[in-house]
Amino acid sequence: MLGAQKWKEGGVVARTRGITIRDVARKAGVSITAVSHALNGKGTLSEATREHIRTVADQMGYEADALARGLRRSTMGAVGLVLRSLDALGDYAPAGVDVFERFVGAAASQALARNLSLMLVPDLTRKPVPPLAFSLDGYIVTNPHVDDPVIALLEDRSIPYVAYGRPPGRPEFTHWVSEDDTASARQILGHLWAGGARDTVLVRGTDPNAWNLEHQEVYVSWCSERGVTPRLYELAEGAGVDGGVDLAGRIADDGVPDAVFCLTGRHAAGVQRGLMARGVRVPEDTMVVAGSDSEHARNSRPAISALELNPVESSAALLDVLQDLIAGRTPTSPRLTKARFRARASTRR
Amino acid sequence: MLGAQKWKEGGVVARTRGITIRDVARKAGVSITAVSHALNGKGTLSEATREHIRTVADQMGYEADALARGLRRSTMGAVGLVLRSLDALGDYAPAGVDVFERFVGAAASQALARNLSLMLVPDLTRKPVPPLAFSLDGYIVTNPHVDDPVIALLEDRSIPYVAYGRPPGRPEFTHWVSEDDTASARQILGHLWAGGARDTVLVRGTDPNAWNLEHQEVYVSWCSERGVTPRLYELAEGAGVDGGVDLAGRIADDGVPDAVFCLTGRHAAGVQRGLMARGVRVPEDTMVVAGSDSEHARNSRPAISALELNPVESSAALLDVLQDLIAGRTPTSPRLTKARFRARASTRR
DNA sequence: GTGAAAGCGCTAACAC
DNA sequence: GTGTTAGCGCTTTCAC
């Protein structure tokens, strides 16, 4: 391997340095400027030189060092992903929760398609700060909550960022992408209504993010439009299925409802199980719906109707907006993506 | 904010540069060398100067620029994660496959605990290579297969890496961590044998990784030790549940077995469903086991006995080994972690 | 005990 | 059109 060398430095095995721009310049018989310009499509070079340099570089397998380039250009080709919901949960691998992990997967492959690297960065405000955190070109922040310190930090440093789920209490901020929660919530509530439900319970999480807040808002308006009394329960996201089972007891004690709309799949699975354990029949006595699909919802018996989020389209939109922001262009945002409601046995009457 | 400035460069909004080592040096009335030494515990400085510099740096909120530091020291505080199984699948967010997603989550939180950032890198051998790919301190490669080109590339560049699941055909390579597949497989086969199974089928995937190869090996030896004829089926990982359903037909045609041991949860769920559709009773006629737990296994009816992998312990071990490697220490490896067998209704006789 | 200076690999003024 | 050169922020050698 040309130009490769290995060495030790203070006990740290340094990586093999690859081929440098200098190696290419020497081989191609030009200056390093020429190489830089040729490869970045800048400056004024004859097409012949350009082509020649490109060929040589290709042959040698030259890849520009991202660090050196970043140091100079202050743009890295890498963006960070902060999952605020998981930060809040304090658990980056909660059992049976696949929405976030699916989002990570989708975001990674969408980033790939744009030749961007995606870096998972844990809560930026906690010390010690991950070293690369402030060198990244921008951030995707999922489900920021009210007065989110991560967002405050990014703004303070003027690092571009986009939010998945609008940052609550920031009407002036537009760089967000979300599934159309309002439309989906109304679709679900309408579906339940059509199934005969007149007494529908909403179970939301405790995190003060747009997901929880907007759903609550829509639910309350929807109830008041129809003159029915809202029945709202809050259950910590971290409580999971077991929390749902417990909550089912409370709900039933308050009066068995016609339908329960849980914002998370785990809560829905737990509530359904808890209700059934008390002899409530699903869907005959009570219908159950989850606001976000998951294996829990799919594989409960009866299978729970749920909203299938759209991580692929959403992460694509987020990256588009973020790239515009990074490039100094004005992005078209906010953007709403379309989730898809999956009616299953739990609401089939 | 001290030393902060914003500027445009070729239409690109550059990130706000933070406080530099120079700012700290000026404020503390020392040279930049002194600052560097004080903050990194190197050189020979009086404890007084050291302390003074640390205080000033803290006050100013100085954070060393990871890029500049990396360029000089070539260690970044970030590691890459390559999921070879998903590369093979060509899908980074396959529905219902949660082993990898759980592993990503676990690896992320373990990395967090070590102040490392985690970058998801798809197949490194495919162009274009993500910019930071070759600047990372090291890699975790999950389920490398025989003659894996990603491993060849990392070795060529002498980038430290560890494997989750031993690289097949590389007996001399020891930097790997794995659940103890051999022990688990024997435990499962023993469990089935104890349940009366004398004709157990193994369904493995087609990817030539250690997971598939070692299980097959154990299965074949185990059969020969007991003088029973092995019945081995291969099914592409990507075939999922539906592939399992189809395969159930073939298996039944060849003779309904006493038990089926599928290496993936999706295959197990499919095979069970396919068998039951043909009137085979589970577990009465045939027991079904999955080699890796998943929501599919848990939520099938009857629930499928499965091996619960240990992504948290495994990723912790992987990062330990990788950090040793990066630091030039000799790691204790390979390391085996303990998976846990969950007996469920599908094998309860 | 301390600091000046070289240089990591790259980009972009600015000279030629 | 092409090349020389000055840094980006940091670590480290080596003079003082």
Contact B275, B260 (CB under 8 A): yes
Question: Distance (Å, rounded) from C-alpha B223 to C-alpha A76?
Answer: 54
CA closest to B15 among chain A residues:
A159
pLDDT-derived band of residue B99, with 50, 70 and 90 as boundaries?
A: confident
Tokens of B278: 């043909």
Q: Chain D: nucleotides under 7 Å from a protein CB?
A: 1-5, 7-14
Tokens of residue A20, six digits: 């440098």
B32 touches strand C (CB under 7 A): yes
First-to-final CA distance of chain A = 68
Query: Measured between CA atoms, how close is B94 to chain A, in angstroms?
Result: 8
Q: Is B134 on the interface with A (CB under 8 A)?
A: yes
Q: What residues 296-325 of chain A have any CB closer than 8 A to a CB of chain B?
A: 296, 298-301, 311-312, 325
CB-CB under 8 Å, A18 with B157: yes
Q: Check whether residue A101 has its CB closer than 7 Å to nucleic acid strand C.
A: no
Q: What residues does B315 pair with on adjacent strands?
A: none
Which helix (H) or strand (E) covers residue A140, if one does?
A: strand A138-142
Fold of domain B7-69: 434 Repressor (Amino-terminal Domain) (1.10.260)
Average pLDDT for consecutive 10-residue bins of chain A (349 residues)?
33 58 91 91 85 91 88 84 85 73 84 86 82 91 96 91 96 96 97 97 97 97 97 95 97 98 96 97 97 86 94 95 91 95 95
Per-window interface: B 137-176 vs A, CB < 8 A: 137, 156-160
Nearest protein residue to nucleotide D12 (CA to C1' distance) is B33
State whether the beta carbon of B22 lies below 7 angstroms from any atom of strand D: yes
- Residue A1 is predicted with a pLDDT of 29
Contact B280, B286 (CB under 8 A): yes
Inspect the interface and report whether the beta carbons of A74 and B15 lie closer than 8 Å: yes
Q: What is the pLDDT of residue B2?
A: 28
CB pairs under 8 A between A and B: 240
The residue that minimises its CA distance to C1' of C1 is B45
Q: Is any atom of nucleic acid chain D found less than 7 Å from the CB of residue A71? A: yes
CA separation for the pair A181, A164 (Å, rounded): 12
CATH number belonging to domain B181-309+342-347: 3.40.50.2300
Query: Cis omega (within 30 of 0) on the bond before B230?
Result: no
Mean residue pLDDT of chain B comes to 89
What residue in A sits closest to B300 (Cα-Cα)? Answer: A299
Contact B265, B304 (CB under 8 A): yes
- Quickly count: other Cβ atoms within 10 Å of residue A305's Cβ: 26
How far apart, in whole angstroms, are the C-alpha atoms of residue A188 and residue A222? 11
Domain boundaries, chain A: 7-69, 78-178+312-338, 181-309+342-347
> For position A7, what pLDDT does the model report?
35
Does residue B81 surpass a pLDDT of 80?
yes
Determine the distance in angstroms separating the CA of A145 from the nearest CA of chain B, rounded to an integer: 21
- Residue A17: its pLDDT value, please? 63
Q: How far is the CA of A8 from the C1' of D9 (A)?
A: 22
Taking the C1' atom of D3, which residue's CA lies nearest? A31
Q: What fold characterizes domain B78-178+312-338?
A: Rossmann fold (3.40.50)
Give the pLDDT confidence score for residue A16 in this predicted structure. 52
Contacts of B6 in chain A (CB under 8 A): 158
Q: What pLDDT does A75 receive?
A: 79
DSSP string for B64-83: --HHHHHHHH---SEEEEEE
Angle between helices B265-277 and B240-253 (to 10 degrees): 50
B208 in contact with chain A, both atoms CB, cutoff 8 A = no
pLDDT at res. B56: 93
Q: Is the CB of B72 under 7 A from strand D?
A: yes
The three-class DSSP label of residue B322 is helix
Phi-psi region of A176 (alpha: psi -120 to 50; beta: other; left: phi over 0): beta
Q: What single DSSP character describes residue A326?
A: H
Q: Which member of A132, A299, A311 has the closest CB to residue B299?
A: A299
CB B158 within 8 A of CB A16: yes
Q: Which of B9, B15, B157 has its CB closest to that of A16? A: B157
Which chain A positions have a beta carbon within 8 Å of B37's beta carbon? none
- The C-alpha atoms of residue B76 and residue B136 are separated, in whole angstroms, by 6
In chain B, whose CA is at the least distance from the CA of A138?
Answer: B15
Q: What share of chain B is helix, strand, coil (3-state, %, to 5)?
A: 45, 15, 40
Locus of tokens 């000799």? B330
Instruction: Using a CB–CB cutoff of 8 Å, tell me whether A99 touches chain B.
Output: no
The contacts of residue B90 (CB under 8 Å, 6+ apart) are B238
Identify which of B341, B349, B343, B345 has the alpha carbon closest to the alpha carbon of residue B197. Answer: B349
Cα–Cα separations (whole angstroms), residue B29 to A128, B37, B45, B109, B208: 26, 15, 14, 40, 61
Q: Which pLDDT band, with edges at 50, 70 and 90, does B17 fall under? A: low
- Shortest distance between the Cα of A105 and any Cα of chain B, in A, equals 5
What is the pLDDT at residue A74?
A: 66
Contact flag A94-B73 (C-beta cutoff 8 Å)? no
Closest by Cα among A77, A109, A130, A47 to B66 = A130
Give CA separation, A226 vs A214, A221, A229, A334, B278, in Å.
18, 9, 9, 30, 49
Chain A CB within 8 Å of residue B93 CB = yes
Q: Which residues, numbered 30 to 69 in chain A, qualify as contacts with chain B under a Cβ-Cβ cut-off of 8 Å?
A: 63-69
Fold match between domain A7-69 and domain A78-178+312-338:
no
The helix (H) or strand (E) run that includes residue A243 is helix A240-253
Nearest protein residue to C8's C1' (by CA)? B72
Distance A46 CA to D4 C1' (A): 19
- Fill in the DSSP letter of residue B167: P
pLDDT number for residue A113:
81
Sequence-distant (6+) residues with CB within 8 A of B255 are B199
Strand segments (E) across A200-281 = 200-204, 231-234, 259-262
pLDDT recorded at residue A14: 44
A116 contacts in chain B (CB < 8 Å): 130
- Gap from A64 CA to D15 C1', Å: 35
CA–C1' nearest nucleotide, residue B72:
C8
- Long-range contacts (CB closer than 8 Å, 24 or more residues apart) made by A341-344: A341/A184, A341/A187, A341/A188, A341/A191, A341/A305, A341/A306, A341/A307, A341/A308, A342/A293, A342/A305, A342/A306, A342/A307, A342/A308, A343/A191, A343/A305, A344/A297, A344/A298, A344/A302, A344/A303, A344/A304, A344/A305, A344/A306
Does B327 reach chain A within 8 Å, measured CB to CB? yes
Please say whether the beta carbons of B260 and B290 come within 8 A: no
Measure CB to CB from residue B311 to each of A86, A93, A96 and give the nearest one: A93
Q: What is the pLDDT of residues B162-192, one digit of tens each?
A: 999 999 999 999 999 999 999 999 999 999 9
Give distance CA B22 / C1' C8 (Å): 18
pLDDT computed for residue B74 by the predictor: 63
Give B283-294 pLDDT, tens digit per residue: 999 999 999 998
- Among A309-318, B127-136, B154-163, B311-320, the range scoring the smallest mean pLDDT is B127-136
State whether the beta carbon of A45 lies below 7 angstroms from any atom of strand D: yes
Q: Is the C-beta atom of A17 closer than 7 angstroms to strand C?
A: yes
Q: How far is B198 from chain A (nearest CA, A)?
A: 31
Look at strands B8-9 and B12-13 and give their pairing. antiparallel
